[in-house]
Amino acid sequence: MPSSIAKPVNAWWAPIDSRSQSLDKDIRAALHRVDLPLFWLEQNGRPVVSHHGTMTIGSEMPSGSQALPLLGYAPPLHPKDLGDFNFKKRHNLGYAYVVGAMANGITSVEMVQEAANAGMLGFFGAAGLSLDQIETAIDRLQQKLGDISFGFNLIHSPFEPALESAVVNLYLRRGIRLISASAYLDLTPALVYYRVKGIHRNIAGATICPNKIIAKVSRIEIAEKFLSPPPRKILDQLVNEHKITREEALLAHSIPMADDLSAEADSGGHTDNRPAITLLPTMLALRDELATKFAYSDPICVGLGGGIATPYSTAAAFAMGAAYVLTGSVNQSCKEAGTSRLVRQMLSEARQADVSMAPSADMFELGVKVQVLKRGTMFPLRATKLYELYSNFENFEQIPAAQREMLERDFFRRSYQEEWAQTKGFFSQRDPRQIERAEKDPKYKMALVFRSYLGQASAWAKSGDPDRKIDYQIWCGPAMGAFNQWVKGSYLEKPDNRSTVAVAMNLLLGASFVTRVRWLSSQGIPMADIFGKFAPMKLSEITKLIGPQTNKKSPRAE
């Protein structure tokens, strides 16, 4: 317990009713009541706190013997008050918290459902799945959630534009009105089509755009495209193809491509490893510049993802001006994640430096990389080897014999021709045109075979194939190590205890907690370590403390 605080008394506190008569000496417990104001007082040279009372500004002690020196004050900061009001209102949310879309259904139906029912926004991880699998997920979520907000991922597919268009057509046909657009290197006709289809004016003359996009970007040149209106060239193309009307194309000039923008820092999967502390301010400044230039009627919200893993990083994101936070890696270790128990265990043991960059399956030929877990797997090394061979040779037969044997023995575990037969079978269902091109171009054939290994590596991890553990591709950022260090020794250390909502509420409640501690510290109160640290709490304890997590909007957003 800290001793008397030697600072001038410039304010006084006095009780106003019976609730404020009792002064609390359990300061740590009082700090957890983030939903209530906190008066930091001095009584007999010792600190005490109260959640009720009245304050008087001035050095003169007010009349009344019950007045005490007021040394610090922290207003309420409920987790529902974190983030941007406009973002929560736009998507009908209680919390400014997004559960990011991890491919192959790792952000599962169950994970999206749990997030949505708790007043958060979840995106189903549709990337890498077939149209039938995506539609099955749509059926389940629409049936379970109805009008509660949720979304689906749409990933850039530069080598499979037909697949991207098919996914967009599915979303439009099934009434999916919110997508997370990720890994885009440029805007595509399919993405623009999704954005502007159905745009119209309401009876008051306002432009209504029914299809919403939250873009996930890490480069300023890509962010500028999403923060600008759809390109005229693509709009003209869509008009000529009779996909949109001239009226829709005209109205599209007044809206940005994205309603919101997620600044993606050093994340798992597709990432440029940007530092959050510089990325977010850059994106905010660009947003302000383009919002002024194009005079948008609705505000564009900019959130932050990549590294959100502790109360401190969550609080820092909001302090820097993030409209919302987006989590990814930490969710993959939760029990609702659509991955194997073995992967969740591996993730729960990861440290901050246990990640590495490796060539991606979907943009292999372009040299695009994804961030993955390296501890317990050889995937980063093997994927890098495949890209090195692809870059140096025009076909598989040119590769030195010893290395060809190594690939067939250790990577494919079958002959190159057998691996091609399996790859051919996959694309015969997904996109037969890829086979036609590969039969004419040996280098492209080699690329498809190598991409097949990369794609299967994530499938082996998802299914938990014990014979392929050394080849697991597990998308993961350094946030996973930070989270594991924070929860060490707590009930969240074990992956079986990690639920999506429990993790989210601990990050949000913790962010409110540490933010108020910083407020008190800035007023000259020496917060002891025991006061300023937030340890993980069970969800039932959080509910008892600040109320249940529901799909209703926060009181401020009503």
Domain range summary for the chain, segments of one domain joined by +:
11-76+502-547, 97-327, 350-471
Q: Which residues contact 139 (CB under 8 A, 6 or more apart)?
A: none
Mean pLDDT, rounded, of the chain: 92
Residues 306-337: tens digit of each pLDDT: 999 999 999 999 999 999 999 999 999 999 99
pLDDT at residue 64 above 70? no
Cα–Cα distance measured from residue 53 to residue 484, given in angstroms and rounded to the nearest whole number: 40
Q: Which residues contact 214 (CB under 8 A, 6 or more apart)?
A: 98, 123, 151, 178, 179, 180, 181, 258, 259, 260, 261, 262
- How far lies 125's CA from each of 107, 114, 548, in Å? 5, 15, 27
For domain 97-327, give the fold. Answer: TIM Barrel (3.20.20)
pLDDT band of residue 554 (cuts 50, 70, 90) is very low
8 Å CB contact between 184 and 191:
yes
More confident residue, 42 or 316: 316
Cα–Cα distance measured from residue 531 to residue 537, given in angstroms and rounded to the nearest whole number: 15
pTM for the whole structure: 0.92
In sign, the C-alpha dihedral spanning 383, 388, 394, 400 is: negative
Residues 272-302: tens digit of each pLDDT: 888 999 999 999 999 999 999 999 999 999 9
Cα–Cα distance measured from residue 303 to residue 322, given in angstroms and rounded to the nearest whole number: 5
Least confident stretch, 135-149, 287-301, 302-316, 536-550: 536-550
3-state DSSP call for residue 413? coil
Q: Which residues contact 1 (CB under 8 A, 6 or more apart)?
A: 46, 47, 528
8 Å CB contact between 550 and 535:
no
